[in-house]
Amino acid sequence: MTLIKFNYKNLDLEPYYFFGLEEYILNNLTNNNPDSYFFTWKIKGIVVGKYQVLEREINTKFVIDNSIKVFRRPTGGGAVYADNNNTMFSIISPLSETFSFQKELSKIVDYFKTINLNLEVSERNDILLDNQKISGNAFLKTKNGFLLHGTLLYDLDRNMMINCLNPSKDKYISKGIQSISKRITNLKEHTSINENDLVDGLRDFLCQDSCYTLSSEEEKIVVSLSKKYKTKKFVYHNDPLYTITYDSRFKFGNLIFSFLVEKRVIKDLNINGDFFVIDKFDEFKNSFKGVLFTKLEMIKNINKFNVSEIFLGSTNLELEEFINTFDILE
């Protein structure tokens, strides 16, 4: 492999530059080198897969209350939490009929054998140590090549990870594992080598003396490419079609809002409960179609109506307060 060197200093621990770098390598360097490219990086926050629904994968209340940053990556797979005691890696390879996810990850496994850690690649393309995950990985194929990137858990704050994410119960409990903390492990628990030396050793093992240093012009191109990954459109407006329900009890009755949402736009709304309707119920319900799925836009829509004329005994303020209880990432 060829090590990618760059001057960018990621002081804010955000992934945008690295997504841009992966894109740049895929589109510009893979045709000139039959070998793969490799680099490592660090971030702090939650990274969701390209096709995931944010509110389903993330404990939104905890994330909002604790100002945890949320990012979306260009690859599929599940949500991960990372901090600065975790290393991310990227492998970008040219198109090849012999490319194999397992083969690339096995190169990482081979390095750890040299430091007496016996890892294995699972069927889900995780890297395991004693059947516990130390690396989760995601994959993308384009017309120019393959992108594989993943995590290396060195001393990750597992309690923070558990609080941030909402993993599918089937993913863990069906395997007889009740605690997520038992599903993963940190490398620090299994080696005395510090993280910097561990990662340096991995780079040296994979790349030896082969390296490619980005020019200042290439760095500018990467920065330009990275900008789209930080836009609200990319992070929040890529959700597939999904339903989400909120409910609350008021003096005028129980109110249940069930939204059908796609790409952060409300496609439909069903309203249920034991309230009494006066008039304009269907007009009110249908008015949400096409509204952006944010608290601000929904409250604006509510205030186009006099709610007391729709739900007996209700007020606009009550519905505003109801909307403000929604745990929505914005």
**Does pTM surpass 0.75?**
yes
Average pLDDT of span 9-25: 95
Measured CA to CA, the distance from residue 274 to residue 325 in angstroms comes to: 20
pLDDT tens-digit series, residues 65-83? 999 999 999 999 889 999 9
Residue-level pLDDT at 175: 40
Fold of 2-231: BirA Bifunctional Protein; domain 2 (3.30.930)
Stretch 234-238: mean pLDDT: 89
pLDDT of res. 100: 86
- In the chain, pLDDT over 90 holds for what percent of residues? 82
Stretch 116-132: mean pLDDT, rounded?
Answer: 93
pLDDT attached to residue 39: 98
Name the phi and psi angles at 283, rounded to 5: -60, -45
Q: What is the mean pLDDT of residues 153-176?
A: 72
Res. 166 pLDDT band, cuts 50 70 90: confident
CB atoms within 10 A of CB 289: 13
Helix (H) or strand (E) holding 91: strand 86-94
Query: Quick one: which of 137, 153, 139 has its CA closest to 199?
Result: 153
pLDDT category at 124 given cuts 50, 70, 90 is confident
Phi, psi values for residue 250, rounded to 5°? -120, 170
What the block records as the tokens of 22 is 């992966």
How far is residue 160's CA from residue 162's CA, in Å, rounded to a whole number? 5
pLDDT for 250? 94
Residue linked to tokens 């909402």: 166
Top-tier CATH class for 242-324: alpha beta
For 238-262, what is the mean pLDDT? 93
Q: Does residue 26 surpass a pLDDT of 80?
A: yes
Predicted pLDDT at 238: 84
Instruction: Centre a 10 Å sphere on the Cβ of residue 107 and count the other Cβ atoms it contains.
Output: 15
pLDDT (0 to 100) of residue 67: 94
- Position 177 scores a pLDDT of 36
pLDDT at residue 247, as a whole number: 95
Query: 181 pLDDT band (50/70/90 cuts)?
Result: low
Residue 166 CA to residue 79 CA, distance in Å, equals 9
Residue ranges of the chain that CATH labels 3.30.390.50 = 242-324
The C-alpha atoms of residue 241 and residue 292 are separated, in whole angstroms, by: 14
pLDDT band of 313, cuts 50, 70, 90: very high
Domain with CATH 3.30.930.10 in the chain: 2-231
CB 111 within 8 Å of CB 205: yes
pLDDT at 178 over 90: no
